[in-house]
Structure 1
Amino acid sequence: MQNNTVWGSGGVLVLIVCVLLCIALAVLGTRLYGLKKDAEQERSKCEQILLAFSDAILIINPQGRVEMLNSLAEKLTGWTRQEAVGRAYGEIYNTRGADSDLIAEALEGRSRSRSQVFLMSKGGQEFAISDRVSPLLHDYGQLLGVICTFKAMTRRQTQQARLAQLTFRDSLTGLYNRAFFEQELPRLDQPARWPLSVLVGDLNGLKLTNDVFGHSVGDELLIAVSHAFLEVCRPEDRVFRWGGDEFIVLLPKTGQDEANAIRQRLQGALEGRAVGPITVNLPLGCSTKEHAGQDIRAVWQQAEEEMYWLKTVEHTRFQKETLHGIVKELHGRSVAEKEHAERVSSLAEELGRYLGLANHELRKLRLCGLLHDIGKVRIPEEILNKPGRLSAEEYKKVI
């Protein structure tokens, strides 16, 4: 009987504990449900505030994907909220032509703003906007996401922005020009942006291309180079067309090894590019400023000297390959042209021998005879082989 009493007391005790636990769990569940509802209401309230905000707003999560955008952001980007949520921010907020990626910087904890930048919408329309991008941080400093606020500029502001852009852009290639280089170099030559690397390039064959094919083909060659730079270089890099055939790239926060890797990628992007028979050849020199004891203009000069050394080494080979390509292009159009060039070359050599010229002079004379009609390569084949008289328009193309 005594054992039954003990077990009976224990059973009652267990029952009481279970009841208390159930009550505690029920209270906790109710409390958690209430907190969840409160959180949902707060989130809904915040979203409604953001949606009603007078500026366009984009919210990016820590993984770089769009979490929310309001109606003004939908209008400017061309993306609906349903389409945009979950996509990488670069698809929605397309400012690839900009100097820097502010959202990427905000994901690293930095706030930035711009007074003007151009936004490309989903439909291809371009808007001049001003924007501000800031990280969203937890009380403990943990990154919760990024908020990007932006607004379209007025028509007058847009026109002023385009004029300002033209002031610092090369009209042919769209790269930055020499005037902007002089302004940007001291801005980037600061400890926060060291190591600062410099790439200097000089396009081979531009003068020959202009002389033989005309300046329009030379322009195509320059544009091909600019496209390679824009494909390889990062948003924070600055690419300049310094002069007629010269290019400079400033690479902030980039050491020598990384700069050399970028140079190799550029050479790889340029390899195989050609405009007609002219291949793109751009020797690139590279140098890096690591500390305050180095003068950035001396570093620039070192990169330039390396480039000229490479240009000298490659010059003869490139010139031979280019001339061979031009001759092949011309002679490939007509067997008669090839036979004519070879006949003139032979006659020129005979004349040289008659005049008693030395062997090295005879070689030059043979080459001159072979290339004497090289300018014909820029004339359209249908005009070059036309049997009758040329029209006035055709004659303009010939001269």
Structure 2
Amino acid sequence: YLPANVEGTFKAGTPIDGLWIVGIGAIGIAGAQWVEDREDGRNSRLSGAATHLSRMVLPGVVAAACSFLLVYADVRRVAGRFADLIDGAVALTVLVLAARAGLALYANWQLGERERRRAEELAVLYDVGLATAGELSLEELANLIAREATALTGTDGAMVSLAEKDHTFVVRAVHNAPALGLRSSVGEDLRGVALESLRTRDVVVANDYRDHPDSNPVLHDLIASAIAAPLVAHGEIVGTLTAYASRPRAFSEETRRLVRLYAAQAAIAIANAALLAETRRLARDDDLTGVLNRRSLLERLEVQIADATRHGETFGVVLCDVDGLKAVNDSAGHLVGNEVLRALARAMRQATRAEDVVARFGGDEFVILLPRTGPLPAQAIVGRIAARLREERYMWAGQANDLPRASFGIAWFPIDGRDADALISTADARMYEDKARARTTRLSAAAEAD
């Protein structure tokens, strides 16, 4: 459908024809592609628009000029030196525009990769941000941080340690442990390049892990490079984050920047999780003895009653009262009396089973729930607790002293009641009966001695 004078331009066999066709395609790509300079804030909006317009119009103008020259040379039968100049100019223009198109495509690909990478980074930070406002436990949060750190840095695995109350650091999570040879690291004391990050309170990169003075010799054949960062929240180091790679020099300056940003976010999440855990502990446990408090006990008792009713089971409720605590407080002081209560709680936890529940009911009274336990097994457990209390000691005036005697009362569900008040009242009455029998025994022994 082309005019006869233009049709000859596309005739096969001349070297310029293929280059002409490729050049027109390159010119079209160059006209459609450009990279916006996001950091150039010096130009005004008008000059920026003019620049983009020129980038779009100029390739079209050049394409029209090249087409005109080619058609003109073909129609006019231009030959000789002038035709060679036209062919050379067109060829050079096509090559320049093709190079420009290639560079534009490559720059756009790089821009797309940066945007994709940035989206992944934001997704990781968003996940950790959600954890900050969530209710994950410290162990769950540590595993999340290690997993997301591996994705963020593009490494083979990561490890998270958390600060303990004695200011030591213990590994709490390892992601992709088999690839790192770290199967037994969880629960161990912190080692490796993270120690330097603790000393410097900054990100540390070991481009050659084997040559780093704090490296773990066991991992020399598995890890080639590593990066570690302290997790600092409110000026206090709450943990460390370490990422490992099997290739040397795997961490760029950009990775260092990302790890520093990620560590700051992770540290806040850990501090919040620790605060939440401590708040829950204070609401659940007795602050003096570490066992459950009265409110938590009553909640557990209601749950136990519901479960036992549903499954037709029996369980025991033991009430324990310390007979001589007032005498200890009067003679040695309340600090020593508090130590007696802690020793009592410790002995009860040691003498009971894993499923049993020990709680401080108030003052010098303790309650022990014995799930799925009938009268005879319950009495055996109480006997074991009493024996353990006789073995326990507390320190006062530089010497170990026997614990005061404890009285016990036991009630069973559903024999002695089907609600918490009835069970505790029955156990309380039987505890006072035990206390009275002990007093009678002491008086009888004293009378016989006289």
| TM band (smaller chain) | 0.3 to 0.5
Q: Which has the larger radius of gyration?
A: 2
Q: TM-score, normalised by structure 1?
A: 0.42
